[in-house]
Amino acid sequence: MDYGILLSTAKTILNKEENKIEHKLQELCDLLQQSVEHYDWVGFYFANQEEKTLHLGPYAGLPTDHTVIPFGKGICGQVAVSNNTFLVDDVTAQDNYISCNINVKAEIVVPLFVSGQNVGQIDIDSNTLNAFTSEDRLFLEKMNEEIARLF
């Protein structure tokens, strides 16, 4: 996968004038899930700072029961608190993990910062062990910087 080309395609989607943010993020989820073989589920969660919860936004892949996740719970909830990207090679090795689907083996969660505040995250699940590398991390961190411009 050429992440440079994927990032340009993502920018084209994000820079479209006519679309709502939700539509752009949905298009982005569909693009990533279809373009990268090891991205089996791609979705966004957004933070409610008062309630300290994450809420599922646009996603591509199987539906999940986990549409609301408290801060601190699971990989997603931990990223809401730590403000750091969390790359999981093997989800069975994690105590604080919320399973959305028994086929998932690895996960990466990258926080989305808007004006320095952690407002949400992109969450990607893979059905392949050790699926994610620093290349995925860099690509997704750059993509989130582009998304942040829309807010």
Identity of the residue, 60 or 147, whose beta carbon is nearer to ligand SME in the bound complex: 60
Q: What's at 104, amino acid-wise?
A: V
Candidates 24, 38, 58, 107; binder of ligand SME (CB under 6 A) is 107
> Is residue 54 a contact partner of residue 77, using CB atoms and an 8 Å limit?
yes
Q: What is the dihedral of CA 142, 144, 146, 149, to 10 degrees?
A: -140
Q: Could you tell me the smallest distance in angstroms from the CB atom of residue 35 to ligand SME?
A: 19
User: From the CB of residue 108, how many other CB atoms can be counted at a distance below 10 Å?
Assistant: 25
Identity of the residue, 98 or 138, whose beta carbon is nearer to ligand SME in the bound complex: 98
Tell whether residue 40 is a contact of ligand SME (CB under 6 A): no
Say how far residue 39 (Cα) sits from the centre of its chain.
Answer: 10
Binding mask 46-75 for ligand SME (x = CB under 6 A): ------------------x-x--x----xx
